[in-house]
């Protein structure tokens, strides 16, 4: 049997802040998730996003230390339209999240932007550009 990729896991320093961030991007976490040490959201296509607190990871891996800086993981969210990339970017930045790369029309035919989640992980926002815009 060949293993099947199924979960993207993030270790978060502030579960409430991470839940708020990813809920703004449309992910659904169970009610009361903020009181749990491990939470999951089903993603389209059958994948799961799992969030674990630093204390949870230390409970089964006592020597673990968080990385000195974020940016080791990147998630990408497809938006319906290029205008939606701009709107979601502005909503997240307006809510106090770091905007790493303002929306722009990438040479590969997409409207693209990057924000950071509360732990500094890159979260890409993208949408295909109309064929006549290329």
Tens-digit pLDDT string for the chain (134 aa): 776 889 999 999 899 999 999 999 999 999 999 888 899 999 989 999 999 888 888 887 888 887 776 656 778 999 999 999 999 999 999 999 999 899 999 988 999 999 999 988 889 999 999 986 55
DSSP state of 129: P
Q: Confirm if 118 and 14 have CB atoms less than 8 A apart.
A: yes
Residues 6+ apart with CB under 8 A from 125: 76, 77, 79, 85, 88, 89, 103, 112, 113, 114, 115
Q: In CATH, what class is 74-133?
A: alpha beta
7-60 and 74-133 agree in CATH topology: yes
Q: How far apart are the first and last CA of the chain?
A: 43
Let me know: does 71 contact 119? Beta carbons within 8 Å. no
Per-residue pLDDT, 50: 92
The per-residue pLDDT for 71 is 59
Residue spans of the domains in the chain: they are 7-60, 74-133
Who's near 83: CB < 8 A, 6+ residues apart? none
**CATH class of the region 7-60:** alpha beta
């Amino acid at each position: 049997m060949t293993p099947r990729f199924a979960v993207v896991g993030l270790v978060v320093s502030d579960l409430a802040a991470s839940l708020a961030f990813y809920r703004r991007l449309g992910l659904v976490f169970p009610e009361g998730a903020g009181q749990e040490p491990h939470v999951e959201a089903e993603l389209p296509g059958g994948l799961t996003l799992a969030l674990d607190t630093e204390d949870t990871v230390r409970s089964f891996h006592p020597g673990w230390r968080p990385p000195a800086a974020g940016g080791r993981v990147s998630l990408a969210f497809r938006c319906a339209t290029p205008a939606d990339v701009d709107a979601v970017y502005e909503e997240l930045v307006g809510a106090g999240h770091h905007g790493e790369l303002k929306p722009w029309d990438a040479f590969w035919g997409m409207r693209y932007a990057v924000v950071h989640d509360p732990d500094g992980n890159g979260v890409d926002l993208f949408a295909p550009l109309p064929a006549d815009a290329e």
